[in-house]
Structures are given as structure tokens and as C-alpha cells.
Structure 1
Amino acid sequence: MRIQIQLRIVGDDSSVISEGEILHLDKGDDRLEVVGLAFDEAKAILAGIQGGVVTAQAASFLARQRSCDLCGSLLLSKGPGQTQFRTALGTIALSSPRFHCCACRSGEARTFSPLNLLLTERIAPELLYLETRWASLVSYGMTAALLKDVLPIGGTADASTVRRHLHKVAGRHDADLSDEQPGGLGAGEDQPLPQGSVIVGIDGGYVRNWHDKKRNFEVMVGKSMAADRDDCCFGLVRSQDEQPKRRFRNVLGSQGLPVTQPVTMLTDGGDSVRALAGELSLGAVTMLDWFHIAMKLTGLKQYAKGLAHHNPVEALALQHRLERIQWRLWHGDGDEALIRAQALAADVAALITAYPGLKRLIKAVAGLATYIANNAAAIVNYSERWRNGERISTAFVESTVNLVVSRRFAKKQQMQWSKVGAHRLLQTRTKTLDGTLRDLFTRWYPGMAVNDNQVPDFARAA
């Protein structure tokens, strides 16, 4: 069986712009494996169609640029030239002549390349989007291998190219944030939701430092949740983001909320997380996560069990006092809890016992008092919130940290990152997981076709 595939491109006036054979195939019909097009044959057909379409579009554009748009004079050609345009269906070599500027355009450049006005970038937005999307989900090397397997792009994709393009997208997004008007609803539209209706959880994770391989650095991840709105997550490396407030405004805007929206921020009480929460929204109510309070108290109760083997009376008293501190914290009485914690720290420091873990116990009790003091303003009535069905834990953002950081930055594989590289990957990964990366590209390139914006199930799984 002989198969010929031809491409005919017709202009608006029904005239044939170009016509030619794309591919010639000789196919058998006597074996299962030869039925239909092979994958390489399909890619060759797509590449041939793409080459014909792009070449015809470039030639049509050049023909319109051949005359001066002011006086209509025919422009003189300085000479031929060539350029390449990378698309998702192959790299296309194009003729790119240079023209002399018309004499009526005094003071401008003497020559110019018209095709540069069309091809402002040498990579098609669709390919840039695919590279960024998949590199946000899996490694740069796997992304390059995947795209080469399914697209007719040959050897033009490699891990370094994919990484460079992702950094380009993230850098452009960061630059846009500094120039954008604050996101959200305009004047006269819906009023902000009530305080507490928008919950923002912030937590930190650690990745290995490429430049100082024995150390880790912290990445910050947050998740914003509002009633009847899509959840939105964000991430950053603090040293690489001088104005995190603008990023948070963008998050609220993507949820259709005004920048003045009152929010409740849940944190684990760590210094870096607490500082970031204060910068993101000046009017936010910061709330200390109950889970981390409970974990600290649980650790101290374990010390009390160890102390019971050496001094049962003191151990029983310690357990009772910890329960009273916990009760005070649960009901939002941070001041009294702090007084009791400081008194407990002083008494434990004065203990005389053979318990081998005494030094660690003294340090842990003192740490509890410091923790309560540092976060006194963020301690709320957890009992009341619990009865009202309101959130008191950052468990939802901890799962987000696992999804955003652990699954891509491969902590178990001990992958190493630069701070710039980690920060930029966080921007595209969070947008990919939110399903808003395509929206970003269609804002930059309005002519991009609307496409399925779903994230693969394996990427969404917690």
C-alpha cells in the first residue's frame, strides 16, 4: 500500500499559496504491528505540516513588510538571511531577509529584519508552556526525554534548555508582579469576605544547598483557602523575594478577592514563618497552629514519664502543671499560660535528681516558655474555634509543603538546588498545581488556544 500525504495552503482569495508532498509511505497490511501509522511516521507528518504552515505564514508576513507603511515605497533588500523558530512540532528554518529603511524614516535604523517583528522570541509559546508545565512536575531531564518521545522536536530539548526556559518564565512572572496593579476585585464589586472566611496557612521546608552542600536553606510555602473559591498555593525563597506582599496580592487576585481582604494566617510559630506572615498582610490576624503547641506539650509529657522512674512525685507534679498550661492555651489564655510556663521552667531548673534526661528536660521546658512568649499575640481561643467548626491546625499546609517541595525537590534523593533555581521553580510549580499556569500564558500571549488545564492526578495526590 502506497500512501502520499500532501499539504495545500490557500490564501484568503482562494489562491494556492503553497502546495507539496509532505510524506510518502509504503505500508504493508499483513501484520498487526504495521496497521496504522507508526509513532515516528505520525511525528514526521506533523513536522511536515508545521513546516509548511510556519513557512507560509512567515512568507505572507514578509510580503506585507516589503513596502514602507508611510509612503508605500518598495524597500530595498540588503541581502538574504536565515533564522530558526522552535515549535512543539519541530524546529523550522526560515528565510529572514534584511531591508533598508525608507528614506522617509529619517533618524531610524538604516536596516531592519522584518521577521524579528513577528518572531519576538525564537521559541513558540506553546512549546515554552509545555516545557514549563512538565518541568514543574518532574525533573528537567525527564521533561526533555518525555517531550522528545511524544513530539517531533529531535535533539533540541535537553535538561539545561528546559531549565533555562523555566527560569525565563518565572523571571518574567516576577517582573510582572512588580508592574501589576494590585489584583482582586475592582471598586463597586463584591465586598471582602468576613474575617476568618479566608484562611492562609504558611509553613517552611528545607532543601539542600548546591553552593554549600553541607547546609540546607528554607523555602516558604503557603496555601490560601476561601469559601466558594479555588484554593491557591504559593512558594518562595525569602532571600530571593524582596517584596513578598506583591506575591500574596497576586494570590488573592487569582481567587477573585480584593487586596484589602481580611485574612486569618495560621503558622507554626517559627521565627521565619512568623516574620513572613507579618509582611504578607498588615491587617491579617495571625494565629498559632494548635498542632505545634500540642506537639511541644506531648514531648514534655514524655520527659515526665522518664522522670517518674527516678522521682515519681516530681513527675506527677510536672504532668499536672503541663495539663494546666495546656488547658490555659486551649482556652486562649496565653498570658496565664506564659506565667505558669516560666514558673515551671524555673522549678525544673532547680530539680536535683538522677534522671539522665534532666538537661534535655530543662531545655525543653525553657523552650516552651520562650515559644509561648514569642507567639503570645497569636494564641486564640482554640476551644471556641473548635466548637464553631473553624480551623485550628496547619495540617492542610503541611500536606501542601509535601506536595510542592518534597515531591519535586526530591529530599529523599538529596537533590541540591541554588536559591535562585529553587525560588523560580516554586513559582511555576505552584501555578501548575493550581491549574493557573495556562492562564498566565494566555495573558502574555492572548492568541494561544484555550486548552485543557488539568493537572495529572499523580501531581495532585497528597
Structure 2
Amino acid sequence: MRITLQVVVQDEGEMPATVTEIAQFERDGLDVGSLGLHLEEAKSLLGRLQRTMVAAQVAEAVARTSICPTCGTPLACKGHHRLIFRTPFGRLSIDSPRLYPCRQCMANAPTFSPVARCLPERVSPELQYLEVKFAALMSYGLTVNVLHEILPLDHVLAASSIRRQVTALGRRLEADQATDGRQQEEIAAGSRLQDIPEPSPVRAVGIDGGYLRLAGHGRRQDGWFEVIVGKSMRDQEAGHTFAYVHKLEHRPADRMSSFLLREGVQPDQPVTFLSDGGDTVRFAQLGFGDRGEYVLDWFHIAMRIQNLEQMIKGRPAHCDGPSNAVLIKALHGATCHLWHGCPYPALRRLESLGWDLDAEASPEEAKLLGKLEELIIYLDNNRHCIVNYGDRYRHGEPIASGFVESAVNQVVSKRFVKRQQMAWRPRHAHNLLQIRTAALNDQFRSNIERWYPSVAGGERHRLAA
């Protein structure tokens, strides 16, 4: 059996259609190895089809722009050069003529290239989308291998070129998000006067941090920088995430406002922010402005108290001062005050507990006193975020930020690979985080289609039935 595929190109004018044979297949018999197209045949077929379509499109565009739109005089050609354009179906070398303008209508105008004018970028949007999305989900080396395996690329992809695409699209995505945030704020400000405001679709926003190794610092202690990761908690559907490098964000309030508006939260609707109370995360929250209630994660409080209780139980029984049972009872009393949102009585109980310990009695006593002081400092720094956890728990409101800790693992750890000790530059990591969060939120494709409307597809792009 011989199967021949031809492409028929019909111009809008009266010119006859051109027929080009692009593939010919031969099959003998029927088995699982010969049924349908092979992968290499499909890749070759797509590459030839792409070259045929592009040649026809370029020829039509050049013919249309080679005539003066004012007087209809054919334009003289100054010369030709080759224009390289990369697509998911191969790299194309396109003949690009340079034309003189009409001497009668535009005598002083410079020469121009109609193909270069139509193609200001040298990479197709869909190839950019594939390169950047795969790079956001896996390493650059794996991205190169996967794209070479599935696409009919007749040129060698380089990890450096994919890295440049990530940087460019990451900056563009962040700029668009900031612009959209300002526009949505204006729209929301104009529609604030409502009789009954709709309830917020977001129950809470969790904030947490992760560390990445800084490139060029080896294993030095200061060779790290922190990434802030946030995730929204919803009732009916999964929440969305955002991330940024902490020291590169100069306007965290604008970023948070833009994120909340994309989540459907209006500027006058309060939001609950949950965090573990770390120094960097606490400072990041202060930059969000007065958008709602800030809650210290109860799980982190309970874990610190449990750790302290285990250390008290391991304290030697013959130590001077109060017994272990008395110390544990005082610790439970402080825990009860914290559970009901009373940080000051809890701090007084913990401080009095520290007065009963003698750091000079034994190394265990000194270590216990050090842990107790760490807990007191931690609670004192976050006392404005300690709420009535018992009341919130009884009313079904969130009091723990476990959902955002899984987001840190999903956004940061699985891509930036801490175990392999990958090192990053803050600016590049920041751009990659914008792409990765958009891809995990299933929003990256919509951004590409908004930037390039012709990629979105429509009736004219669909295959004939």
C-alpha cells in the first residue's frame, strides 16, 4: 500500500491552486508496528507541512506588500536576506526581500522588509510556551531532551536560550499582572457602592518561606536567599499560589492586592493571613498593608510547646528548684492562655517559669532555659498575631497553615531541587517563580493567548470535518 499526502494552497485571487506533495508512505501487511504513523514519520510530516505553509504565507504577504497602497506601483527590490524563525515544527530559513518605497508617494522613506515587519520576534509563541512551561516544571536539561524527543526540531536546542525565554516571559508576566491589578482596582473602586456585597471566595491566605542557594557563594553560610510563597484557601476549589524573591519585592502591597483581585477578593473585603511567624515572613506580611487579620499558625506554637515539654520530662529529677510536674503544669497553663488568645498572661507564666530554672545547674538545664527563651521571644514578636484559636476552631475557621507548607514544597522544592544543591541568581529565580506559579495555577496558557490572540484558535483554525 502506498499513501501520498499533498497540500493544496488556494489564494484568495484568481490564481490556480498549487499542489505540493509532502509525504509518501508505504505499508506491507498489518501489525502493531506498521499500523498508522510512526513518531519519526509524523515529525517529518509536520516539518514538511510547516515549511510548505510558511512558504505560501510568506509569498502571499510579500506579493501584497510589494505594491504601493496609494498609487498601485510595484515596488523595486533592493536585495534579499535570510530570516531565521524557530517554531515547534523546526527552524525555518525564510527569504526576506528588502523593498524600496514608492518614489512618487514616499520619496524620502527608508527601505523596509515586509517579512521582518510582520515577524518582529524570531520565535513562535507556541514554541515559547512549550519551552518555558516545561522549564518551569523540570530542569533545563530535561526540557531540552523532552522537546527533542517529541517535536520535529531539526536544530539543537540550548539550555541558555530557554533560560533567556524564561527571563523575558517572566518579566512580561509580572508586568502584566501589575497592570491588571491596577485596572481591577479601578474597576472595583467604581463598583464599591453595592447594597449587599458578595462574600469573599477566599477563606484565608497562607504565607510561608523557603531558602534557595545563591549562585557563586559555594557553601558559605550567607549564600542563601529567601523566597516567599503564598496560597489561597477556598471552600469549593483548590487555591492558587504566588511566589517571589523577598529582597527583590519593593511593593508587596501591590503584589498582594493584585493576587487577591485575581482571586475575586474586592479591596474592601477583609482577608485572614496565616503564617508560621518567621522573621522574614512577618516582615513580608507587614508590607501587605491593612487588608485583614493576621493569624499566627497554631501548629507551630503547639510544636514548640511540645518540644519544650519533652525537654522538661527529660530533666533530671534531682535538680534543684520545682519538680518537673510543676513546670509542666505551668507550661500547660501558658498554653491554655495562648489557645484563648491571651498572649500577655501566657508570656508572664513562661517568664516566671524561666525564673525557676538555673542555667548553671547542669547542661540540660541551660539548654532547657535557652529553648524557653526562644519560645518567649517568638511569642513576643508575634503577639499581635495571636488570636482566640478556640473560638475560631469552634466556628470552623482556619488556624493552621499546613496547606501553604505543601505549596512551598510544590512551588520551590520540586523545581529548585534542594537535594542537588542547585544554585540560583535571585533575579532569574524570581522570573522562573512567576512562570511556575502561573503554570501550576493553569493560567499560563491564557496569558500566552492574550499576548498573541491568533494563537487562541477559532473557527478558522479548526480542521475540516
Question: What is the TM-score with the length of structure 2 in the denominator?
Answer: 0.89
Q: Quick check: 1:208 aligned with 2:209?
A: no
Counterpart amino acid of residue 212 in structure 2: V
| Residue equivalent to 1:457 | none
| Residue equivalent to 1:40 | 40
Q: Quick check: 1:188 aligned with 2:191?
A: yes
Counterpart amino acid of residue 432 in structure 2: L
Indicate which of 305, 312, 316 corresponds to 1:304: 312
Structure 1 residue 353: Cα displacement? 2.7
8 A Cα contact 1:10 1:18, kept in partner: yes
Q: Quick check: 1:372 aligned with 2:379?
A: yes
| Residue equivalent to 1:232 | 240
8 A Cα contact 2:171 2:431, kept in partner: yes
| Residue equivalent to 2:454 | 447
- Please give the secondary structure, in 2, of the residue aligned with 1:257: coil
8 A Cα contact 1:183 1:249, kept in partner: no
Q: Quick check: 1:410 aligned with 2:417?
A: yes
CA distance change for structure 1 residues 78 and 383 in 2, over 3 Å: closer, same or farther?
same
Counterpart amino acid of residue 366 in structure 2: K
CA distance change for structure 1 residues 8 and 194 in 2, over 3 Å: closer, same or farther?
closer
- Please give the secondary structure, in 2, of the residue aligned with 1:280: coil
| Residue equivalent to 2:301 | 293
- Please give the secondary structure, in 2, of the residue aligned with 1:80: strand
Structure 1 residue 72: Cα displacement? 4.0
Structure 1 residue 196: Cα displacement? 9.7
8 A Cα contact 1:183 1:259, kept in partner: no
Q: Quick check: 1:339 aligned with 2:327?
A: no
- Please give the secondary structure, in 1, of the residue aligned with 2:3: strand
8 A Cα contact 2:201 2:234, kept in partner: no
Indicate which of 281, 284, 293 corresponds to 1:276: 284
CA distance change for structure 1 residues 7 and 224 in 2, over 3 Å: closer, same or farther?
same
CA distance change for structure 1 residues 229 and 120 in 2, over 3 Å: closer, same or farther?
farther
Measure, in 1, the Cα distance between the counterparts of 2:14 and 2:46. 24
| Residue equivalent to 2:337 | 328
Residue range with higher mean Cα deviation, 85-94 or 154-163: 154-163
Counterpart amino acid of residue 387 in structure 1: R
Structure 1 residue 169: Cα displacement? 0.8
In the TM superposition, what are the counterparts of 1:36-75 in structure 2 within 5 Å? 36-75=36-75
Residue range with higher mean Cα deviation, 44-53 or 219-228: 219-228
The size of the alignment, in residue pairs, is 448
Measure, in 2, the Cα distance between the counterparts of 1:193 and 1:211. 50
Structure 2: runs of 5 or more not aligned: 459-465
Indicate which of 401, 414, 428 corresponds to 1:394: 401
8 A Cα contact 2:178 2:258, kept in partner: no
8 A Cα contact 2:6 2:19, kept in partner: yes
Q: Quick check: 1:250 aligned with 2:258?
A: yes
Measure, in 2, the Cα distance between the counterparts of 1:287 and 1:72. 71
CA distance change for structure 1 residues 85 and 193 in 2, over 3 Å: closer, same or farther?
same
- Please give the secondary structure, in 2, of the residue aligned with 1:217: strand
Structure 1 residue 14: Cα displacement? 6.9
Measure, in 2, the Cα distance between the counterparts of 1:192 and 1:173. 31
Structure 1 residue 359: Cα displacement? 2.4
Measure, in 2, the Cα distance between the counterparts of 1:322 and 1:16. 91
Indicate which of 271, 284, 292 corresponds to 1:263: 271
Residues 427-457 of structure 1: CA deviation (Å, up to 9, x unaligned): 1111111101111111111221369xxxxxx
8 A Cα contact 1:80 1:95, kept in partner: yes
- Please give the secondary structure, in 2, of the residue aligned with 1:37: coil
Measure, in 1, the Cα distance between the counterparts of 2:201 and 2:390. 16
Structure 1 residue 254: Cα displacement? 2.5
| Residue equivalent to 1:155 | 155
8 A Cα contact 2:230 2:242, kept in partner: yes
8 A Cα contact 2:91 2:155, kept in partner: no
Residues 143-200 of structure 1: CA deviation (Å, up to 9, x unaligned): 1111111110133323222222122110111233444424366433887655795311
Residue range with higher mean Cα deviation, 6-15 or 36-45: 6-15
Residue range with higher mean Cα deviation, 69-78 or 301-310: 69-78
- Please give the secondary structure, in 2, of the residue aligned with 1:127: helix
Residues 91-145 of structure 1: CA deviation (Å, up to 9, x unaligned): 121111112234544665x122111221121111111111111111111111111
Counterpart amino acid of residue 426 in structure 2: K
Q: Quick check: 1:116 aligned with 2:126?
A: no
Identity %: 37
Measure, in 1, the Cα distance between the counterparts of 2:239 and 2:107. 55
The RMSD of aligned alpha carbons is 2.4
Measure, in 2, the Cα distance between the counterparts of 1:12 and 1:230. 49
Measure, in 2, the Cα distance between the counterparts of 1:195 and 1:447. 35
Residue range with higher mean Cα deviation, 410-419 or 185-194: 185-194
List, as ranges, runs of 4+ consecutive aligned residues in structure 1 with deviation greater than 6 Å: none
- Please give the secondary structure, in 2, of the residue aligned with 1:84: strand
